């Protein structure tokens, strides 16, 4: 009897971790991985590329360096549709790939929330290309100031104050003196504004940690405007609402980091979804489709404690991948799947190279120690989706800078 075909879509944290688990277990499966790029990138470090601290190569590595070509067939192509009735995946090249079991791990995209001008004038940070483009836009404007003397070339607006924004702000404010030297602009005239819709900053941390994080960034020159939803992005300005009034702030660099959604392939394939995320069964399969797993940023798993789906993170994506591998082992052995259980190990947000805030093991951490934890988490993830050699090449060992 021919082997059952297991197809994994996406080589992000969820997909690549699944592949690593499947190839290690030597299950009786014909395994295929499909990914748009030849490489995996550390989505948690995109802010470093956007701020120019690290090049794209530092936070990415080739998929072929991780997969065992004797066990996994790798197809570099873009998934355009999942035809779940035909158990088939359509690819941009025109090819189709059939499956018996499918793991959908297609990751996230920028979310515009339908706000005017976002797609045209906002610079999102969702993959290597967009992070590099945001860096180029920033560099171009800072450099241009020498000729233009236009204050908006020294004005940067960061939209939203979620994790990505805070980490980007931490990175960019750290780099500013170096950039001022490089492009010869007055660092003290740079205006960095972060506009957040909600009234409270960093609500995911304790008040003490949130205050620390906000103070650090304010001292480095960030101006926070809160309780002010953004209403429109124009070519060189951001329109927001403050106490019922529309206000506008000029900026040549507008970084759009107000949240993400799951891949649009999910909606286009007819899955029941909300913002590209499918509410999965307890074993992480799609309701009514026990051979289709949905994991990472395209899945929503209910946190019974909070009554809301868990936030999408690299940590939960990799835990889901491990559960899929375990479930496949059980399925092939004729056993019932178990329910996915998630214990978050905590959260850390970087504030630049040597500073961070974090909560883990029921304790708050801030400053240098939290920044070491942040680097440790990134290094651990590299081992979880990569190999020891990937860790040696791409890991963060600059603890003493």
The set of catalytic residues is 167
Residues 334, 322, 46, CA angle at the centre, nearest 5°?
Answer: 150
Q: Which is nearer to ligand NAD, 32 or 53 (CB)?
A: 53
**Alpha-carbon span 223 to 216, nearest angstrom:** 11
Closest CA to 294 of 306, 307, 274, 209: 274
What mask of x and - would describe binding to ligand NAD in positions 27 to 56, judged by CB under 6 A?
Answer: -----------------x------------
What mask of x and - would describe binding to ligand NAD in positions 349 to 378, judged by CB under 6 A?
Answer: x-----------------------------
230 binds ligand NAD, rule: CB under 6 A: yes
Q: To 10 degrees, the CA torsion angle through 42, 47, 49, 54?
A: -80
Shortest CB 97 distance to ligand NAD, Å: 29
Q: Name which position in 160, 170, 337, 386 contacts ligand NAD (CB under 6 A).
A: 160
Cα-trace Rg, the chain: 22
**Alpha-carbon span 66 to 23, nearest angstrom:** 10
Strand arrangement of the beta sheet that strand 88-91 belongs to? 79-83, 88-91, 96-98
Shortest CB 112 distance to ligand NAD, Å: 9
Stretch of 75-83, 140-148, 253-261, 388-396 contacting ligand NAD, by CB under 6 A: 253-261
Interface residues for ligand NAD in 193-222 (CB under 6 A)?
Answer: 195-198
Q: Which residue has the tokens 């507008």?
A: 254
Q: Which is nearer to ligand NAD, 21 or 107 (CB)?
A: 107
21 binds ligand NAD, rule: CB under 6 A: no
Closest CA to 276 of 256, 301, 297, 302: 297
Closest CA to 384 of 31, 38, 40: 40
Q: Which residue has the tokens 């690290």?
A: 54
381 binds ligand NAD, rule: CB under 6 A: no
Question: Which single residue brings its beta carbon nearest to ligand NAD?
Answer: 162
What mask of x and - would describe binding to ligand NAD in positions 298 to 317, judged by CB under 6 A?
Answer: -------------xxx----
Q: Name which position in 163, 212, 256, 293 contacts ligand NAD (CB under 6 A).
A: 163
Non-local (6+) Cβ contacts of 86 within 8 A are: 98
Shortest CB 373 distance to ligand NAD, Å: 11
Binding site residues, ligand NAD, CB under 6 A:
44, 113, 115, 159-165, 167, 195-198, 229-230, 257-260, 311-313, 347-349
């Amino acid at each position: 009897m021919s082997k059952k075909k297991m197809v994994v879509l996406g080589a992000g944290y969820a997909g690549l971790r699944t592949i690593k688990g499947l190839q290690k277990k030597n299950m009786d499966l014909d395994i295929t991985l499909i990914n748009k790029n030849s490489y995996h990138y550390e989505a948690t470090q995109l802010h470093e590329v956007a701020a120019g601290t690290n090049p794209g190569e530092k936070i990415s590595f080739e998929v072929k360096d991780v997969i065992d070509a004797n066990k996994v067939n790798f197809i570099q192509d873009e998934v355009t549709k999942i035809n779940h009735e035909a158990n088939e995946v359509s690819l941009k090249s025109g090819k189709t790939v059939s499956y018996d079991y499918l793991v959908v791990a297609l990751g996230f995209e920028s979310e515009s929330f339908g706000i005017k001008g976002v797609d045209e004038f906002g610079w999102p940070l969702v993959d290597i290309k967009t992070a590099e483009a945001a860096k180029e836009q920033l560099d171009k404007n800072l450099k241009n100031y020498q000729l233009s003397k236009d204050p908006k070339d020294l004005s940067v607006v960061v939209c939203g104050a979620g994790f990505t924004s805070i980490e980007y702000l931490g990175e960019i404010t750290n780099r500013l003196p170096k950039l001022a030297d490089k492009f010869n602009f007055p660092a003290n005239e740079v205006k960095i504004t972060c506009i957040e819709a909600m009234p409270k900053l960093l609500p995911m941390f304790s008040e003490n940690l949130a205050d620390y994080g906000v103070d650090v960034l304010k001292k480095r020159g960030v101006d926070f405007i809160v309780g002010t939803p953004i209403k429109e992005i124009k070519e060189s300005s951001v329109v927001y609402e403050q106490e019922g009034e529309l206000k506008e702030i000029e900026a040549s660099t507008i970084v759009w980091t107000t949240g993400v959604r799951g891949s649009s392939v999910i909606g286009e394939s007819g899955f029941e979804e909300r913002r590209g995320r499918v509410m999965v069964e307890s074993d992480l399969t799609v309701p009514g489709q026990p051979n289709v797993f949905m994991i990472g940023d395209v899945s929503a798993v209910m946190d019974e404690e909070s009554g809301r789906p868990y936030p999408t993170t690299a940590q939960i994506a990799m835990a889901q991948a491990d559960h899929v591998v375990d479930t496949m082992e059980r399925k092939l052995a004729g056993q019932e799947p178990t329910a996915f259980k998630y214990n978050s190990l905590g959260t850390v947000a970087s504030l630049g190279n040597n500073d961070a805030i974090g909560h883990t093991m029921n304790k708050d951490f801030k400053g240098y120690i939290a920044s070491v934890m942040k680097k440790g988490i990134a290094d651990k993830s590299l081992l979880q989706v990569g190999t020891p050699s990937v860790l040696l090449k791409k890991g963060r060992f600059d603890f003493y800078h």
